[in-house]
Amino acid sequence: MRGSGRGAFIAVALAGAISLPGAAVAAVPPPAAVPPPTAVRPAVVPPSAASRASAATEAGTGGGRMLARTPPMGFNNWNAFGCDVSETLIKETADVLVSSGLAAAGYKYVNIDDCWSLRDRGPDGRLVPDPVKFPSGIAGVADYVHGKGLKLGIYGDAGTKTCAGYPGSLGSEELDARTWADWGVDYLKYDNCYNQSDGTREDFIRRYTAMKAALDRTGRPIVYAICEWGQSQPWLWATGVGQLWRVSGDISPNWPSLRTIIAHNAPLAPYAGPGHWNDPDMMEIGNPGLTETEQRTHMSMWAMMAAPLLIGTDLRTASATTMAIYGNREIIAIDQDRLGVQGAVVSDSDGLMVMDKPLANGDHAIALYNATDSLATISVPAVDTGLRRAGAYRLRDVWTGRATQVRSTISAAVPAHGTVVYRVRPLSHPAGVAPAVTVGANLATLIPGPTGATLTTTVTNRGVGAISRLRLTARAPEGWTVTATSASTRRRLDTDASMDTTWTVLVPEGTVAGSYPIGLTASYAWGPRRRAGSSASEIVSTVVTAPGDGRRHLSTVPAVTSTNARGPVEFDQSNGGEGDRDGSLITIGGTVYTRGLGTTAPSEIVYYLGGRCSRLVTDVGIDDEATTTIPATFTIHADDTAVATSGPVSAGAAPTTLTADLTGASWLRLVTTGSGAGGDGTTTNDHADWAAPVLSCGGAGPDDAVQPAERALFSFESGTEDWVFANPEGGSMTQSTAFHTEGGHGLRVLTPASGNWFGKALAEPLDLTGTARLKFDVKTAATGTTGEIAVQVGADWSWCQGGRWAWTNPNSSRTVVEDVEDIECPAGITLDLSQVRAVWVFLNGGDVHIDNVRAESAVGTAP
Ligand code: GAL
C-alpha cells in the first residue's frame, strides 16, 4: 500500500503571466486495503492429532497430489510496485529469476497482484486483463512464464471488489476459477476487501471455501493462498481449504512491522505443516527501510517459520546483497525442509527468542533472534531443544558458513535486530572443530566530554575443552579512547567459563549525535595443537547531545529511542497503521495540529536533555482516527520522576494541556500506557497523540519564537485570497471552514480529473530568503493525491518546482513538505528566493481542502 513516485517534473520558463504548462498528473496509487484491526491474539490450541492427520491427506490435493508440500517460493509484485504491474514487469522478472539462479534455488511462482484487470467484466461476465498492461493477456504471460519452467500466480478477491477497486469474485467463483484455469494460472492469492461480511468466522469459511470448491472443479492444480489478514483466525479452520493463509495485516519495510509480524506468527507453529502454511506476508528484502541485519533477520525468521518465500522487490535492479540474501541456499533449505515443521519457540523473553526447527535429516535449525535495540548474548541449553543428547554439538552458521562446536549450550552474541541461525547436529569428535566463543557487551548511551561511559564485556567459552592465551581488544572510532579498567586477558578459560571486563569509553567533545560502531575481538588458542582462533562482535553505540538553546517543536528534536505498539512513532502526524508516514494530521476532538508525535499506547519516546532544558508544554489526547474508545494515560518523566500526567484520557475528549518542569533533568521520557485487560498497559487502537509539544532549553523565555519558525503565506482568512488555477482544465475554489490549520478558514478546491496547479501570481516579488521548506496542509476524501509546490522566480517568471509525493489514505490529511534544496529550476536558472513572483500547489483527487501555505525557516533564523 504505497504510492509510487511523485508527479512528473515540469520545468518551463514562462514569460509574463500565467499560461502554465500541462499539469503533472501522477499515477494514482490504489486505495489502501482496509487494514484489519489488530487481531486479538488467540490462545493457541494446537490442533488435535486427528485433525493434523486429516490435514495431511486432504490439504492441497489438486488432482490427487499434494500442492505446496513445502512452502511456496516465488515473486509477487505488490510490495515493490503496488498497482504498477504489467506484462513487461512479469516477463522481465521471470527472466531474472532464471538468469540469476533464483529459480534453480526454488523460486518458481511469478505472482501478479491487484490491478491486473479492467474495471468492468466483459460481456460474457468474465474478468478482462487490462490490454494496456497485459497486451498478451494473462494467458500469453502464462505461456511465457511456463516456457521458462516457472509458474504463474494471479490475484482475486472474496468480495465485490478487489482492494484497489477492480472486480471481485464474490458470487462469480465458478466463472473466475474457470477463467484462471483456462489461462493456465497456477496460484491464486484471494483477498478480502469489500467482503460484505457479517464478520463471523462462518462467513469467512463460506466465502473462502466457495472459491476452493470452484478451483477444485477446474481440475487444474492451483495453489490457493487465503489472504484475509488473519481476521477470522484462518489457522483454526483453513487447513484443507487453502495451502497457505495470511496471519496478519500488510507488511511494510520497517523494523516495527517485521518485529510485530514475527511475534504474531511464531506462536502459530502448531498449525502449519505440509500443504497448509501460516503466511506472514511477502518479503521486503531489497526495499528501502530495513538495514542489512534486519533483512537477514527477515529471511532467517521466514525460513525458521516455514513461511512462503515470496520475493517482494524489483529483481531487475536488486543489489548483490539483496540477491545473496534471497539466494542463500542453506537458509532456503531450512524453509523448504521436507519434514515441513514450522519452528517452535523454545524461549522468548525480553525481546530475545530461541526457535527450534527439526529437519528431515535429524539436524535442527536453531535461531537466536534479538528483537532488542542492543547487542545481546542469547543462549539455549541443547537439552531444551529437540536435539538428542550428546557430548558435543556442531553448529554451522548459515550466514557465515563457519562451523564451531559446543559442549552443551548453543549461544551467540547477536546484534540488535539480528538473528543467528545455526544448523546443529550431535558431534562425536569435537577435537578438530573450533570452539564457539561468544563476545557479549553492554554499553550505556555515550555523551561527548570528559565523563565517559562504562562498557562491560563478557567472553564465554562454550566449546569442549579450555581455550588459552585469551585476549580481548576493542576498536573505537578515531579520537575515541576505550581503556580496560579490569583484566582483558586470561591464561585459560574453561568450558562454559566467562571473562568479564570493564572499560571506560571517552568520546571527544563536539562529536555529532548518532550511531558509531565499536568492534570487540577475542583472540585465543584452542585444541591440543593450540590453534589460533578469534571471535568478534560489534556494538553500535549511541552518542547523544543535548538540544540547543531556545524553544523548539519537540517533533524536530531527534529522539534517542522510541517504542510504539503499532508501527513506528510518527512525527507531525498521527500514528495511522503499521507503516511509516501513514497517519493523518494529529486531530483531537476536532482540533487539528500540524506538529506533534503520533503513537499508539503503550509507547515510550526518550530524549537526552543533558540538564539544559527547563520545560515541556504539550497538548495530549486520543486522536480522532481511533476506532475504539479505550483510554490512554500520558506521563512525562524527567529522569526517573513523573513530572506531569494526564490520567486516563478517552477518545472524543478535548485536548488536555500538560506542563512539565524539566529543570536539571538529563533525560526526558514521554510514556503512553493503555488500559488493556489486566491493567498491564497493553492495548492498541487508542492512538495517543502528543500534540504540539514545545521544549524550552538553555534559558529560553516563554515568549521566544518556537523554532523552526514558520511564516504564513496564504491562510484564506479573507476568502480565496485571489487564488486562480494555472491550466485551462480549470477547477474551482471557495473559502471553507471544513478544514483549517491556521485561523478559522481554509480553501476548498474542486480539481479536474487530471489535477491542476492552484495559486497566485504576485504583483510584487516576495522575499523568502532563509526559507528551508515550503509547506501546506491538505485533506482529501480521495485515495491519493499529489502534493507538489512550485514557485516562479525572477523577472522572467521562471518556473521551478519539486515536492514530495504525498500518499493519502481516504479521508486523511497531512502536511506536504518541500525542501527548498529539492526544488528544481530549468537549466541556467537559479532559485532566487528573494524574487518569488508566484506560488503554486498541485492538487488532484477531486474534492480537496488545503490551508496554511507557508515558509519554514532553518532552525535558529527568524521567519
Ligand atoms: C491487500 C493485501 C496486499 C495486497 C493488496 C492489493 O489486502 O493484503 O498483500 O494484495 O491488498 O490491493
Q: What is the pLDDT of residues 354-368, one digit of tens each?
A: 999 999 999 999 999
Largest Cα separation within the chain, whole Å, is 89
**One-letter identity of residue 672:** T
Residue 808 is predicted with a pLDDT of 61
31 Cα nearest atom in ligand 1: 12
- Mean pLDDT calculated for residue range 19-23: 33
Please state, for a pLDDT cut of 90, what percent of the chain lies above it: 82
- Mean pLDDT calculated for residue range 537-562: 95
The pTM for the full model equals 0.83
- Mean pLDDT calculated for residue range 148-170: 97
CA dihedral sign of residues 715, 721, 725, 730: positive
228 lines ligand 1 (CB under 6 A): no
**Mutational pocket test of ligand 1: of 79, 114, 154, the residue with most ligand atoms within 8 Å of the beta carbon:** 114
Q: What is the mean pLDDT of the chain?
A: 90
Nearest to 503 by CA among 486, 478, 518, 523: 486
Ligand 1 centre and the CA of 397: distance in Å?
A: 35
Query: CB within 8 A of 593, min separation 6: which ones?
Result: 585, 586, 587, 619, 689, 691, 692, 741
pLDDT higher for 189 or 843?
Answer: 189
29 lines ligand 1 (CB under 6 A): no
Checking if the pLDDT of 648 tops 70, the result is yes
Instruction: Report the 10 Å Cβ neighbour count for 744.
Output: 10
Residue nearest to atom 1 of ligand 1 (CA): 33
Vertex 409: Cα angle to 406 and 521 (nearest 5): 65
Instruction: Report the 10 Å Cβ neighbour count for 172.
Output: 21
DSSP label at residue 385: S
Residue 807 is predicted with a pLDDT of 59
Residue 64 is predicted with a pLDDT of 57
Rounded to whole angstroms, the Cα distance separating 56 from 491 reads: 56
Nearest to 205 by CA among 225, 181, 234, 184: 234
Q: Cell digits for 703?
A: 515568549
Q: Cell digits for 518?
A: 565499536
176 catalytic per annotation: no
250 catalytic per annotation: yes
Checking if the pLDDT of 347 tops 90, the result is yes
Rounded to whole angstroms, the Cα distance separating 713 from 424 reads: 66
**Residue appearing with cell numbers 478546491:** 749
Q: Cell digits for 641?
A: 520522576
Query: CB within 8 A of 583, min separation 6: which ones?
Result: 570, 573, 574, 575, 576, 598, 625, 812, 814
Antiparallel, parallel or unpaired: β 61-62 and 65-66? antiparallel
33 Cα nearest atom in ligand 1: 7
- Mean pLDDT calculated for residue range 407-435: 97
Residues paired with residue 91 on neighbouring β-strands, in sequence order: none
Please state, for a pLDDT cut of 70, what percent of the chain lies above it: 90
30 lines ligand 1 (CB under 6 A): yes
pLDDT tens figures, 84-133: 999 999 999 999 999 999 999 999 999 999 999 999 999 999 999 999 99
113 lines ligand 1 (CB under 6 A): yes
pLDDT tens figures, 469-503: 999 999 999 999 999 999 999 999 999 999 999 99
> What dihedral do alpha carbons 343, 344, 346, 348 form, nearest 10°?
90
pLDDT tens figures, 167-180: 999 999 999 999 99
78 lines ligand 1 (CB under 6 A): yes
Which residue in the list 176, 191, 623, 689 is annotated as catalytic? 191
pLDDT band at 598; cut points 50, 70, 90? very high
Ligand 1 centre and the CA of 190: distance in Å?
A: 9
Rounded to whole angstroms, the Cα distance separating 294 from 41 reads: 24
**One-letter identity of residue 199:** G
Rounded to whole angstroms, the Cα distance separating 496 from 509 reads: 40
Checking if the pLDDT of 20 tops 50, the result is no
Ligand 1 centre and the CA of 548: distance in Å?
A: 44
Residues paired with residue 467 on neighbouring β-strands, in sequence order: 493, 526
282 Cα nearest atom in ligand 1: 9
pLDDT band at 578; cut points 50, 70, 90? confident
Q: Is the peptide bond before 708 cis (omega within 30 degrees of 0)?
A: yes
114 lines ligand 1 (CB under 6 A): yes
SS3 623: coil
Q: Cell digits for 419?
A: 538473528
Checking if the pLDDT of 3 tops 50, the result is no
Residues paired with residue 155 on neighbouring β-strands, in sequence order: 189
**One-letter identity of residue 301:** M
Residue 29 is predicted with a pLDDT of 27
- Mean pLDDT calculated for residue range 740-745: 95
Residue 40 is predicted with a pLDDT of 29
Residues paired with residue 749 on neighbouring β-strands, in sequence order: 733, 848
Residue 785 is predicted with a pLDDT of 62
164 lines ligand 1 (CB under 6 A): yes
Ligand 1 centre and the CA of 840: distance in Å?
A: 35
Residue 630 is predicted with a pLDDT of 80
**Mutational pocket test of ligand 1: of 2, 81, 113, the residue with most ligand atoms within 8 Å of the beta carbon:** 113
Highest mean pLDDT among 54-68, 712-726, 809-823: 712-726
Residue nearest to atom 12 of ligand 1 (CA): 163
SS3 298: helix
Residue 61 is predicted with a pLDDT of 41
Rounded to whole angstroms, the Cα distance separating 349 from 517 reads: 26
Checking if the pLDDT of 810 tops 90, the result is no
DSSP label at residue 68: -
Of the listed ranges 303-317, 453-467, 701-715, the least confidently predicted one is 701-715
191 lines ligand 1 (CB under 6 A): yes
pLDDT band at 581; cut points 50, 70, 90? confident
pLDDT tens figures, 215-258: 999 999 999 999 999 999 999 999 999 999 999 999 999 998 99
| Torsions phi, psi for 180 (to 5 deg) | -65, -40
Query: CB within 8 A of 624, min separation 6: which ones?
Result: 587, 588, 589, 590, 651, 652
Residue nearest to atom 6 of ligand 1 (CA): 114
- Mean pLDDT calculated for residue range 454-463: 98
Residue nearest to atom 7 of ligand 1 (CA): 33
Checking if the pLDDT of 369 tops 50, the result is yes
How many Å separate Cα 580 from the centre of its chain?
A: 6
pLDDT band at 685; cut points 50, 70, 90? low
227 lines ligand 1 (CB under 6 A): yes
173 lines ligand 1 (CB under 6 A): no
Ligand 1 centre and the CA of 345: distance in Å?
A: 28
Ligand 1 centre and the CA of 687: distance in Å?
A: 24
Helices and strands of the chain, counted as H and E runs = 10, 51
